[in-house]
Structure 1
Amino acid sequence: MPCTPETTIFSKGTRTTKEVAYVTAGRLIQQYQQFCLSKGIDFIRIQSVRPHDDTTLFCSAGMQQYKPLFSDPSHSGTVANSQACLRMGDLDEIGDGTHLLHFTMLGLFSFREMTVGNAIDFWLEFLGTLGLVPDHVTIHPDRLVEWTPLYGARVPIVPDPECMWSDGSISGYCTEFYKDGVEIGNIVNPLGTLRETVMTIVESGYRPGNKEQGYVLRKLLRRIHKMGGTLDHPFFKEEVERQKRLRAKYLRLRDRHSDMSPDWWFDTHGIDLSDIRESMEE
């Protein structure tokens, strides 16, 4: 949830205007800190833009320092912070009213503790303390059925296939909050949630297949691959190779059977056209 003290200073402003903006931003950070502490959540305030690893020149997001914890199954807990950020990638878009070079990001990071529903409740409650209600939220179509009920009709829902987030090494689905056409925050569900789900299914004795539990497992393996992730398990490697073979087979046969239905492709050749077409769009 970004806190942007210079939002009102795109044009020339007086010293007083700048001071008021920073005081307002500081008050917002203080309110967020108090809200988190009231929930029993530890809070850290970081004003330096030094990066926490060597993937960026400056810190570009509040989650940067926590990246190792997302892939550490032994760690659980929740922490909140305010992190000064600098995003050089947005330099060409500065001044459009939605992008900032330097800003403070308010973050909440839960490792194997809070659910997506918990996070949605947390942010809507905090925004409520500010008298702020999002105009709408967006959800990726893949998560629309699962996540829409979590909002409980409190906010209008807009499907958005762009609701995916990645920093290059960590990726996942997200749901975003919008006010007056501007994204004011988002909730990310990292890919490692998917990895843990796959391993739970595998450890329960299931194998990838074309029916029931096996089909669900295969779809999840495919989803991890599509999102640029990986999994150190033979089933994942087999599924990646399988998708390559099916794609090559489809390309070889599609002109000859262009009028055949998706059911025919699946029943005759084991080719799920939705998966094949997604991979061809990547």
Structure 2
Amino acid sequence: MFRRHEHKKEVAYVTAGRLIQQYQDYCLSKGIEFARFPSVRPHDDTTLFSSAGMQQYKPLFSDPSHKGTVANSQACLRMGDLDEIGDGTHFLHFTMLGLFSFREMTLGDAIDFWLGFLVTLGLKPDHVTIHPDRMEAWSPLYDGTGIPIVPDPECTWSDGAISGYCTEFYKDGIEIGNIVNPLGTCIDVGFGAERLDMVVNGTPPESALETLVSTAETIVQSGYRPGAKEQGYVLRKLLRRIHHMGGTLDHPFFVEEVERQRRADERYRRLLPKHPEKSPDWWFDTHGIEIAAL
């Protein structure tokens, strides 16, 4: 178990949790089924962690016989953002508020749905973006809102098999979410709860170290432990970086990793004079020592 002592982090969890509850209530008031997924365990074997709320629904997008609409909150983790954390807008782990409609809701329905939800938060986008190829067809969907529309050729999405154009929502220079139109017949919406919390409640962003710590906590709470490969290796890498940055975790996994690194460092220094020309791969394969980590 982790024992929390940081008041700021407690406040952030409470406000974000309240926002997720507001979204759930809003969906249910519209007759839309809602589910919460607090674990970052992936729903298929294409990723180490759940990276998007739509992951578990991918087969339904491609099934022309399926029709329906669901919503969820999904804990996500994207290690690709590791070098961007600390800038106030990138998080390694976050909660995605999702809406997924398979040949039922139109794009206009989805836009109205989200603008309606943002109103309940007292929030109106500063502007939205649309791909130039869709400006003529999609701009009228924002008629009467008074929201400026900006063309953006980056407004496309693809998972490698399914693709579509999208429209993105911005507030205070931050993209708070987007609505994708996969295959031209479906709806895939994702809004980041933490980014919404920042602009709605003024919750300060985590520092890089705080993000590393909370991400490690999330991985552990999702049932993983440090190891030499896959999810365990990611966790070990995070624990190591936290230690190198002068941070700490109140958990046995962190204590064990610090000691493991201390022993590896001692072993490397002892053996280096005997093997000065050996490559990093040799050190790892032969002694399990990661030179870069030292």
TM-score tier by shorter-chain length is 0.5 to 0.7
Aligned partner of 1:132 among 101, 120, 123: 123
Match of 1:50 in 2: 41
Equivalent in the alignment of 1:36:
27
Quote how far apart the aligned CAs of 1:169 are: 2.2
Q: Which amino acid aligns with 2:150?
A: V
Q: Contact conserved, 2:162 with 2:182, CA < 8 A, in 1?
A: yes
Q: Confirm whether residue 177 of structure 1 aligns to residue 177 of structure 2.
A: no
CA contact (8 A) 1:77 1:111 kept: yes
Q: Please give the per-residue CA displacement for 1:213-249, whole angstroms capped at 9, x wherever unaligned.
A: xxxxxxxxxxxxxxxxxxxxxxxxxxxxxxxxxxxxx
Shift of 1:192: 5.6
User: Using a 3 Å threshold, how does the CA distance of structure 1 residues 138 and 14 change in structure 2: closer, same or farther?
Assistant: farther
Q: Contact 2:102/2:185 (CA < 8 Å) preserved in 1?
A: no
Mapped pair 1:67 → 2:78: no
- Aligned equivalents of 1:171, 1:57: Cα separation in 2: 22
Residue 157 of structure 2 corresponds to residue 157 of structure 1: no
1:144 partnered with 2:144: no
User: C-alpha separation between the residues in 1 aligned to 2:160 and 2:50?
Assistant: 14
Q: Which residue of 2 aligns with 1:93?
A: 84
* Distance in 2, Cα, partners of 1:23 & 1:98: 19
Segments of structure 1 that go 5 or more residues without pairing to the other structure are 1-12, 195-282
Partners of 1:153 and 1:167 in 2: CA distance: 33
Tell me how far 1:140 sits from its aligned partner: 0.2
Question: Identity across aligned pairs (percent)?
Answer: 83
Tell me how many residue pairs correspond in the alignment: 182
Residue by residue, what CA displacement relative to the aligned partner does 1:102-138 show, whole Å, maximum 9, x if unpaired? 0000000000000000000000000000000000000
**In the alignment, what sits opposite 2:98?**
107
| Kept after mapping to 2: 8 A contact 1:170/1:191 | yes
Question: CA contact under 8 A between 2:69 and 2:100: conserved in structure 1?
Answer: yes
The residue type paired with residue 81 of structure 2 is D
- Structure 2 distance, partners of 1:100, 1:175, is 21
- Cα offsets for 1:150-200 (capped at 9, x unmatched): 011411100000000122222110000000111000000002639xxxxxx
Amino acid at match of 2:181: N
Secondary structure of the residue that 1:23 maps to in structure 2?
Answer: helix
- Range that drifts further, 13-22 or 177-186: 13-22
What does the per-residue CA deviation read over 1:66-92, in whole Å, with 9 as the maximum and x for residues that have no partner? 000000011000000000000011111
Q: What's the TM-score, normalizing by structure 1? A: 0.63
SS, match of residue 114 in structure 2: helix
**C-alpha distance in structure 2 between counterparts of 1:143 and 1:39, whole Å:** 28
TM-score by length of 2: 0.60
Note the aligned Cα RMSD (angstroms). 1.5
* Greater RCO, 1 or 2 (C-alpha within 8 Å, sep 6+): 2
Equivalent-residue separation in structure 2 for 1:156 and 1:50 (angstroms): 38
For residues 1-282 of structure 1, the aligned pairs below 5 Å read 15-154=6-145, 155-191=147-183, 193=185
One-letter amino acid matched to 1:177: F
Secondary structure at 1:40's aligned position in 2? coil
Q: Is the 8 A contact 1:71 1:192 kept in 2?
A: no
C-alpha contact (below 8 Å) 1:58/1:86 kept by paired residues = yes
What amino acid is aligned across from residue 77 of structure 1 in structure 2?
G
Aligned partner letter, 2:133: D
SS at match of 2:185: helix
